[in-house]
Structure formats: C-alpha cells, structure tokens
Chain A
Amino acid sequence: TQLLEQSPQFLSIQEGENLTVYCNSSSVFSSLQWYRQEPGEGPVLLVTVVTGGEVKKLKRLTFQFGDARKDSSLHITAAQPGDTGLYLCVAGNNRKLIWGLGTSLAVNP
C-alpha cells in the first residue's frame, strides 16, 4: 500500500516565523503536488513537481522534490496569517493519486 506521511500534523507559529513541512513516502512517484485548503473551502493547487531534485518558488513558499522522487518539503518564509490552512501533498502514479492527511498550519498575528 502506498502511503504519504505528512509532518508535523499540526503547527502553530507566530507571524514572521519560518517553517518547513514534510511529505514522505517509501514509494517513488512520477509527480507530486501541494494543495492548500482554507476552512470551509476545497483544496487549491499550489505547485506540481515532476523532476527529482526540482525546486520551485512561489513568492514566500519554496517547494522541493527529493532526488529519489519519494519525498517533498514546503518551506514558508516569514509566515503571515493568510498562510493559515491545511497543506496537503498528493502524489501520482499512472493517474492514481495518493493523498497525505495534511499539515494544519495556524499563523497567529
């Protein structure tokens, strides 16, 4: 069974702090995506990574796909209250998607 483990499960920080959340698996994936879900809303895609070692930046967010395509990290610099939400990673193989349980982030003003 393919699993995606996300850590930490919960994170509460102050505005301005930096943080990193992780998405790990023992399986190799052809692609990996990060979504953010705000309360009462559906998940929204942040980024897709497909190449081992790939790094993508989206303003204050930096995403990295592991060299072996088994894991990924999301780093947020100078977190803001608007970053609050559930961060979900999802990995794909042959159009089957495996979802992690997510990291619930709260950024306090």
Chain B
Amino acid sequence: DAGVIQSPRHEVTEMGQEVTLRCKPISGHDYLFWYRQTMMRGLELLIYFNNNVPIDDSGMPEDRFSAKMPNASFSTLKIQPSEPRDSAVYFCASSRLRGRSTGELFFGEGSRLTVL
C-alpha cells in the first residue's frame, strides 16, 4: 500500500518566490496534518484537517502561509512570499484517529525547503 506521498522532496528557491508543497494522504484516513521541522524548534504543527475541513491553523506562522484540502486525497501548503527563515523540512502526515486515544500518525518523507 502506498504511504503518504509528498512532493517535491527538495525545493531551492529565492526569497520572495511562491512555494507550493503537495501531499497525498493514505486512502481512508480522515485527518491530515502539516508539520515543519527544524533543529532548533523540532516538529511544529502548522495546521490540521478533519474530513477536508481545517480544524486548527493556530500554528501557521503568519499570513504568508496558507493550506488547502480540496478533496480527501490532496492537500497543499503554500508560502507566498517565501523568506529564508522558512527554510525547514515540511512533513505531511495522515491518520485515522480512533476514539479518544491518539492514533498513529503516518508521515510522508518530507519536503526539504531552502530559501536563499
């Protein structure tokens, strides 16, 4: 079975450019998460969706960041305009939470973003 698929794996861009990261969650999973990982701050939750609806976007750094989930099999994270401090590895994860316990998160391989 295919896992969570992210693209691109690597992106190098210049400050001010628009960046779009893509994610295809595991089929049947109704939760989708976008995380950012850096050495200094570890894994930070940016936003998560339930059944394609954004539930909590309090982790989105600022208005330059936006995320959409137009259907159950696709999500995007967009940064416009990008800045050097946005350089990080961005992970998409999906899960099928059961009851009140914490479900297993299935992560993609990540998109490494470098903004020059």
Contacts and interface: CB of A to CB of B under 8 A. Distances in A.
Contacts, number: 49
Nearest to B110: A42
Interface of A: 30-31, 33, 35, 40-45, 48, 50, 88, 90, 92, 95, 97, 99-102
A42 B97 contact: no
A88 B102 contact: no
B108 A42 contact: yes
Contacts of A42: 4, 91, 93, 107-110
Given A30-B100, A41-B109, A48-B101, 9 more contacts: A31-B101, A41-B107, A42-B107, A42-B110, A43-B107, A88-B42, A97-B102, A99-B43, A99-B45
Nearest to A43: B107
Given A88-B43, A102-B42, A33 B102 contact: yes
Contacts of B108: 42
B105 A43 contact: yes
Nearest to B112: A40
B101 A50 contact: yes
A28 B91 CA distance: 27
Nearest to B3: A42
Given A33-B102, A42-B91, A48-B104, A95 B109 contact: no
